[in-house]
Amino acid sequence: MCARNATVSRTVMVSKIPKFLVEKPASLKWLWEDGVGAGKVENIRVCPDDTKFLQVIKQRAQVLAKLENEYQYILGNPCVHPDYNRKELFDAIMTEGPEARKEERDLLLKWAQPHHIAVKHRFSCNKENRKACEERAREREGGSDSCSIILNRRKMLVRDKSEGKKFKFNRVDKIDHLRNEFIRLDLESEKFREQFDEPVPSSTAFVTFEDAATAHMVCQTSMYPNPSKMVVKMAPEPRGVYWKNVNFSPKKKSYISWFTVIASHTRESRIS
């Protein structure tokens, strides 16, 4: 009964919806309930006609995964330091400004794994004091007056776009670069979410009914005089939807299908 009453069991995906219907979701609700008399509609969600938001979300997730890997590389997974505080580190990471960057570096230096800690010796430091400095570095007590404790952080090459088309790369700190990219993409995704209050609708919508029987019945019924319009089928799970292709127009889908057929035929002819 739980699976039968689940949202995915009561939701259908409607594609190729006419423009005059998709612009007014209330018309779609009237079509299902009063026009056809299929059953009560719980929710209607029209997909926005914009793939840039999906690209930003995908890039944001990729950058976040790389950033997490860098912190795991330095701190370990899990971090075994007794004073480790995840919230304190998160607040320092997400806060802008030089003071927050200094706090982040100090926290990473304090909680980092021992093999990522090094001592930067100066010329005035003799060989006798170097062992003492290295022991202090392991204990995070600080070096001598002539030495300093540093954290070995990985670097990466980033293209300098200010130079135009010239292939110029800069070697930057990997954590700082990924953090800045994540914050930039996060702000960009927030702007897209604000625009979704009045989005440009696509020709695809997800309709959730109050019971699963109505959803299955609708999939077997013709909803529009033109059979090529209002194509209804059971909605897959969100993880099974390739969202980038959801709002493709029928014309674009036909072009892609024809291109795929031609490409596969060309490949087979070359092999033979």
Residues 166 and 80 in one domain: yes
Residues 150 and 165 in one domain: yes
**What is the strand order of the sheet 41-48 is part of?**
41-48, 201-209, 11-15, 231-234
Domain that holds residue 20: 1-49+214-236
Indicate the pLDDT class of residue 2, thresholds 50, 70 and 90: very low
Residues 45 and 78 in one domain: no
Residues 108 and 29 in one domain: no
Backbone angles phi, psi at 156, to 5 degrees: -150, 155
Residues 68 and 107 in one domain: yes
Global pTM exceeds 0.75: no
Q: Across the strands, what pairs with 234?
A: 12
Task: Determine the average pLDDT of the residues in 9-24.
Answer: 83
Q: Across the strands, what pairs with 173?
A: 155
Domain membership flag for residue 187: yes
Total count of domains within the chain: 3
Domain membership flag for residue 153: yes
Residues 34 and 154 in one domain: no
The Cα 272–Cα 262 span in angstroms is 15
The answer to whether 83 and 108 are in contact (CB under 8 A) is: no
The Cα 53–Cα 51 span in angstroms is 5
Residues 108 and 122 in one domain: yes
Residues 30 and 89 in one domain: no
Domain membership flag for residue 200: no
Domain membership flag for residue 205: no
Residues 97 and 222 in one domain: no
Residues 136 and 262 in one domain: no
For 143-190, how does the pLDDT look when each residue is reduced to its tens digit (9 = 90+)?
445 467 778 889 988 887 776 656 778 889 999 999 999 999 988 888
At residue 248, does pLDDT exceed 90?
A: no
Query: Which pLDDT score, from 0 to 100, does residue 10 have?
Result: 87
**Long-range Cβ contact pairs of 173-178 (< 8 A, separation 24 or more):** 174/70, 175/67, 175/70, 175/71, 176/101, 178/63, 178/66, 178/67, 178/70
The answer to whether 24 and 18 are in contact (CB under 8 A) is: no
- Indicate the average pLDDT of the chain: 78
For 23-81, how does the pLDDT look when each residue is reduced to its tens digit (9 = 90+)?
777 887 888 788 777 888 888 887 777 667 778 888 888 999 999 999 999 998 888 88
Residues 131 and 8 in one domain: no
Residues 81 and 184 in one domain: yes
Backbone angles phi, psi at 23, to 5 degrees: -75, -20
Tokens, residue 182: 């994540």
Strands 155-159 and 148-151: unpaired
